[in-house]
Amino acid sequence: MLRFTPAVALLAVVGFAVLPVSAAGDPVAQASKRCGVGSGRGYGTTYVTALSVRRTSCAAGKDVVRAFHACRPGKRGRCHRRVLGYRCRERRFNKIRTQYDARVTCTKGARVVKHSYTQWT
């Protein structure tokens, strides 16, 4: 026969209090994760060198990267509109006449897609 001591009662209350929260499907904190980019050549007019996502999948992140590069007109162009609902900000550096590197951060609410790329001009 099971005896209900104060410790058992406390464990039961804590267990039932936690169970509905996790079973309800509430958001759980997610760390950023790195995604593989393969050769980096299948994303548009550039070489994608790194990709990380937060609160979304790697597949969705790759779609955002492709849409971002499809939005850029030419090799030196910039994307000035939202892509797949994401707002993207780009910072270019290591600029020389024949190439530049860039980091792009795209956000849609709590979802974040970050990638870097090298563009030969």
pTM metric for this prediction: 0.74
The predicted-structure confidence for 77-114, as pLDDT tens digits, reads as follows 999 999 999 999 999 999 999 999 999 999 999 999 99
The predicted-structure confidence for 18-44, as pLDDT tens digits, reads as follows 444 444 444 555 678 999 999 888 898
* Residues in contact with 69: Cβ distance below 8 Å, sequence separation at least 6, in sequence order: 43, 44, 45, 46, 117
